[in-house]
Structure 1
Amino acid sequence: MTRVPRLTASLVALGLGLVAAGCAGNDPLAAGEPGEVDTTLTIGSQGFAESDILAYVYGLVLADHGYEVDYQLGIGAREIFIPALRDGSIDLIADYSGNLLRAADPDATASTPEDVSAALPQALEPLGLAVLDVAPAEDADALVVTAEFAERHGLTSIGDLAPIAGELTIGSNTEFETRSYGRPGLADVYGVEGWTFLPIDDFGGPATLDALRTGRIQVADIFTTNPALQDGDLVVLDDPERLIAAQNIVPLLSEALLTDDLAGVLNPVSAQLTTADLTALNAVAAGPDKPSPEHIARDWLVENDLLEH
């Protein structure tokens, strides 16, 4: 039976855009000229600190095992890097399991780490993509309010937002509004409807935090490994219905590049990567010294005996 790729409209449009741009010769992610043989693995990142660090975590280990490695940092969201993987502009990127599953199969309902991990290979096969082992480390989207706002309105879970939804402004990256855990899911699962959306494209970073703490927004989508969540002035709202699926770190690559050797190099890295590690790495990145992502990744790899040279 012929398999038909299951891409969302935005992925199809962006994929076509990348191909067209490559033909025009002005795509910064474009592959080499026809006939060229490129033996370098290009590792991508999504354009925020954690993603940059993970690119080097996997890339440095590959280089240590004799692979030629290049980096294409700051590509952007999944709607861009999935087409880039499919056309060979990049070869591997660290992604987040639940959101990846929903991008590949919008009808997917898996939400636990185990179920999401089990569903991924089949969902990705029609796209010509594959994943390596899923890491224990998880960095999920979370809906966050200030502690003062939570106390004033008696908020502990996402569903508690429903009675005041019409008064809320939610801040997040642009794509949040239409994702399964954005406007559609909030309405269907928790009855949270009528809120205003403010796009803030820094992946829950300083601009989002400032907007939340100053009251420009009342709810923010912030990643759970953001060290700011440890400060005590913010509250992560519970998600008892698992609207937001498990988001474990997983290396995503073209199926054509998947080999036993590559898996043997990178799976042990993922096996040692924990949520506590991710949070600590992000704290170092946000600290006053501002070390490079490569430096942060190398230090973690050395501490965990994952670099041989």
Structure 2
Amino acid sequence: MGARTLRHTLALLAAATLTVTTVSGCGSADAVEASSAGNELAGAKFVIGSKDFTENIMLGQITVQLLKAHGAEVVDKTNLGGTAPNRKALESGSIDMYWDYSGTGWIEHLKNATPIQDSAEQFKATAAADLEKNKIQWIGPTPLNNTYALAIRSEKAKELGVKTISDVVELSKSKPEEVTLCIETEFSTRDDGLPGLSKAYGMTIPKDRISLLDTGVVYTETDKGQTCNFGEVFTTDGRIAALDLTVLQDDKHFFPSYNAAVTLRQETYQKHPALEKVLQPVIDKLDDATMQKLNARVDVDGEEPGKVSADWLDKSGFLGSGS
């Protein structure tokens, strides 16, 4: 229990730190020398956005630093907001690219009700349909699959005997007072979030037992077990292990695969064909284990996203000679 309490304290401190450090979204991009890794993008200028949670901010920072290292002029607009603001900014031309996820593209942007279970086919179908319908190009996918899940602190999972989401449904019938849920606002409205999950599992949770919180607070409140027993989590989040949370099995396979990719307008892709050559080697390296470690450095250890991203690029040899 002592070690767990320490992890909990560190996570709480990191969450407080993150509130300050990620407001701007900027990081160590200024430390990256232009053309240090090549000049394939010399003369090009890109505005890079990102969503407002740790992993997506870091993916945005990776892109900012990588493109700059290949000669591009880059404007950092990371930490722009949720999915909708980024997609709108991309379509309007306010930003040139941001990282999105195949499941989000398939359900949210393309308005499909049923995910494709095979992750490779899910990405292929999403990329093809978005290009055809909306002229949005997807460069990817990453091996990482940052899907949604429900989690509970491990000792409470054992006490209640829950291992799957179906177990939560049964618990809501036998002990409804135990089924309290912490989620972020976006999850509360998305078709691939709580509305769709509730429909797929036949689960009804009264509104007074659902708390809408910021992403980081969901983890700490789920760990405390006072506001809620169950929390919405991202499976590549480093706080799951740090807080000793148990992820419940999605036994009806409701959640789609969420492999990450860089999304950009087709005209930008065609104008700068070197983008795929520069981005794909980095994309190929981003698996679940790598992303969990990077996320933990921010959300558990309290490091700054830009620094973590720059360190990883440098150690992986993506910033040119001397890396």
Q: Same fold (TM over 0.5)?
A: yes
1:210 aligns with 2:216: no
* Alignment partners' CA distance in 2, 1:76 and 1:100: 17
2:185 maps to 174
Asked if the contact 1:183–1:193 (Cα under 8 Å) also holds between the matched residues in 2, the reply is no
Hey, what does 2:277 align to over in structure 1? 264
Judged with a 3 Å threshold, the aligned counterparts in structure 2 of structure 1 residues 238 and 296 are, in CA distance, closer, same or farther, namely same
| Unpaired stretches in structure 1, ≥5 consecutive residues | 1-37
Cα deviation, residue 94, structure 1: 1.3
List per-residue Cα deviations over 1:163-193 (Å, max 9, x = no partner): 2334322211112122223333223322211
Deviations 1:217-241 (A, max 9, x none): 1211111122221146311000122
Equivalent of 1:141 in 144, 148, 171: 148
Structure 1 residue 116 corresponds to structure 2 residue 122: yes
Distance in 2 (CA, whole Å) between partners of 1:129 and 1:81 is 13
Partner of 1:193: 204
User: 1:161 and 2:172 equivalent?
Assistant: no
Task: Give the share of equivalent positions with the same residue, in percent.
Answer: 28
**2:299 aligned with 1:286:** yes
Contact 1:98–1:111 (8 Å) recurs in 2:
no
CA offset at residue 39 of structure 1? 5.1
RMSD between superposed Cα atoms in Å: 1.9
CA distance in 1, matches of 2:195, 2:219: 24
Q: 1:14 is matched with which residue?
A: none
Matched, 1:150 2:160: no
Deviation at 1:287, TM superposition (A): 4.5
Look up the equivalent residue of 1:228 and give its one-letter code.
R
* Contact residue 104 and residue 123 of structure 1 kept, 8 A: no
Amino acid at match of 2:148: D
Tell me the residue number matched to 2:51.
Answer: 46
The residue type paired with residue 174 of structure 1 is T
Supply the AA of the counterpart residue of 1:48. F
Structural mapping, 1:1-309, within 5 Å: 40-109=45-114, 110-125=116-131, 126-165=133-172, 166-167=176-177, 168-196=179-207, 197-201=210-214, 203=215, 205=216, 207-212=217-222, 213-231=224-242, 233-259=244-270, 260-288=273-301, 290-308=302-320
Whether contact under 8 Å (1:186, 1:193) holds in the other structure is: no
Q: Check the 8 A contact 1:131/1:252 in 2, yes or no.
A: yes
Letter matched to residue 299 of structure 1 = D
- Are the counterparts in 1 of residues 157 and 163 from structure 2 also a CA contact under 8 Å? yes
Given that 1:97 and 1:248 are in contact with CA atoms closer than 8 Å, whether structure 2 keeps it comes out as yes
For the structure 1 residues 145 and 291, does the alpha-carbon distance in structure 2 shift closer, same or farther, using more than 3 Å as the test? Answer: closer
Determine if contact 2:147/2:257 at 8 Å carries over to the other structure: yes
How far apart in 1 are the matches of 2:72 and 2:259? 25
TM-score norm. by structure 2 comes to 0.77
* C-alpha displacement of 1:194: 3.0
Paired AA for residue 143 in structure 2: P
1:58 corresponds to which letter in structure 2?
Answer: T
Higher RCO structure (Cα 8 Å, ≥6 apart): 2
The residue identity in structure 2 corresponding to 1:194 is I
State the one-letter code of the partner of 1:192.
M
- C-alpha displacement of 1:258: 0.9
* Aligned-partner residue type, residue 285 of structure 1: V
AA aligned to 2:86 is F
8 Å Cα contact 1:58-1:269 kept in structure 2: no
Deviates more, 1:192-201 or 1:70-79: 192-201
SS of 2:81's equivalent in the other structure is coil
Count of aligned positions? 268
In structure 2, C-alpha distance between the alignment counterparts of 1:210 and 1:254, rounded to whole Å: 37
Q: Distance in 1 between matches of 2:138 and 2:312?
A: 23
